[in-house]
Amino acid sequence: MEGQTNLKCRTVTHQVFPGIQILYHDFHSEVASLGQFVQNDKNCFEIIHCREGRMECDIENEFCYISPGDLLVVKRSCRNNKVYFPLKHYHGITVRIDIEKSPKCLSCFLKDVAVQPALIANRFCNRKPYFIARANPSFEHIYSELYTVPKEIQQGYFKVKILELMLFLSVFHNVDESDIRRIPPHQVKLAKEVCQYLTNHMDERVTIERVSDIFNTSPTNIKVAVKAVYGISFYSFTKAQKMESAAYMLEYSDKSVIEIAGEHGYDNGSKFASAFRSVKGVAPSEYRQINKKYI
């Protein structure tokens, strides 16, 4: 097992089979790398699952986005090494497969499991360098168990689940129906500039009219750009952004809940608690008790 950790980005890597790794990501950051750079990555492809947050990938100068439950299959050489997290919060799993180093057929590990990594890569990334499947109950079943593996059985369980995932992909019927939503670069640029403005004014209540005046565009353009990049409405994004920032402070600082509320534009503790609960599912004090990092 290998790991790269700082306060905001944590990736733990497990070698499952020769040439096949599983990487667990826990990010509270806007930009990060999904594991270390891979030499000869033209032979690699990745199966990326988003559990929480949202991820933007730049794949041959096309922006694509995955949200909770989505699956991305991508040629590693076509993906920018750095990825962007619009909500500054991301949890997920990457299965990285080096076709040259991995077994040609995984049936040697389990009879009747005739899975060939090279055929899966060709199936999903032949005509285009990537494929996106939106949230699917079958994928969710496989991944939900990968997020809760007891340490005592990790290595063996990883092998079973990787085989299950690739077996399912080998018979997945919707390869020609990839849900690829290309976002024009000007919309991506506008949305990120709006995000930066909101980040710089986290302690204020900012309206969409104010933002549209500042960026000299219509509220509709702001709404469309934010929805395209962040997957939610302008006001939902504003609240989510503040609550993710507040959650990070609850985890990594000793500031009181009232102080944190004030730094995010709330002069009323109960309103802040209500907003926080609507995004994170628990009250701020309970969230801190569960997630507090002692550093």
Q: What is the pLDDT of residues 22-32, one digit of tens each?
A: 999 999 888 88
For the cut 90, the answer to whether the pLDDT of residue 274 exceeds it is yes
Q: What is the mean pLDDT of residues 266-280?
A: 91
How does pLDDT run across 60-107, given as a tens digit for each residue? 888 888 888 899 999 998 888 889 888 778 999 999 999 999 988 776
Beta carbons of 190 and 225 less than 8 angstroms apart? yes
Give the span between the Cα atoms of 219 and 225, in whole angstroms.
10
Domain at 185-291, CATH class? mainly alpha
pLDDT band with cut points at 50, 70 and 90 for residue 112: low
Comparing C-alpha atoms, which of 90, 49, 44 is closest to residue 244? 90
Q: What's the count of helices (H) and strands (E) in the chain, helices before strands? A: 10, 11
- Give me the pLDDT at residue 293, please: 65
- Can you name the CATH fold of 2-177? Jelly Rolls (2.60.120)
Q: If you average pLDDT over each of 121-130, 146-155, 164-173, 259-268, which comes out highest?
A: 259-268
Is residue 118 pLDDT above 50, yes or no? yes
Q: Report d(CA 23, CA 94) in Å as an integer.
A: 5
Domains 2-177 and 185-291 share a fold: no
pLDDT at residue 125, rounded to an integer: 87
Q: CB neighbours (10 Å) of residue 128?
A: 15
Asked if pLDDT for residue 20 goes beyond 50, the answer is yes
- Inform me whether the pLDDT recorded for 175 exceeds 70: no
Entry pTM:
0.71
**Residue 120: helix, strand or coil by DSSP?**
helix
pLDDT score of 219:
94
What is the chain's length?
Answer: 295
- Between CA 186 and CA 229 the distance in angstroms is 11
Residue 115 above 90 pLDDT?
A: no
Share above pLDDT 90 across residues of the chain, in percent, rounded to a whole number: 34
CA distances from 255 to 39, 160, 204, 262, 270 (A): 43, 44, 19, 11, 17
Is the distance from CB of 264 to CB of 246 less than 8 angstroms?
Answer: yes
pLDDT > 60? residue 164: yes
Vertex 238, ends 233 and 242: CA angle to 5°?
145
Is residue 178 predicted with pLDDT exceeding 60? no
Return the minimum-mean-pLDDT range out of 40-54, 70-84, 167-181: 167-181
What crossing angle do the helices spanning 234-252 and 185-200 adopt, rounded to 10°?
Answer: 50
Buried/exposed 201-233: b ≥16 CB within 10 Å, e otherwise: eeeeebebeebbeeeeeeeeebeebbbbbbbbe
Q: How far is CA 157 from the centre of its chain?
A: 23
* Strands 62-66 and 55-59, bridge-based pairing: antiparallel
pLDDT of residue 113: 62
Q: What is the pLDDT of residue 257?
A: 94
Is a pLDDT exceeding 70 seen at residue 294?
no
- Residue ranges covered by each domain of the chain: 2-177, 185-291
Per-residue pLDDT averaged across 186-197, rounded? 90
Mean pLDDT in the chain? 85
DSSP state of 114: -
Q: What pLDDT, on a 0 to 100 scale, did the predictor assign at position 40?
A: 59
**Residue pLDDT, tens place only, 199-250:** 899 988 899 999 999 999 999 999 999 988 888 899 998 998 899 889 989 9
pLDDT at residue number 295: 47
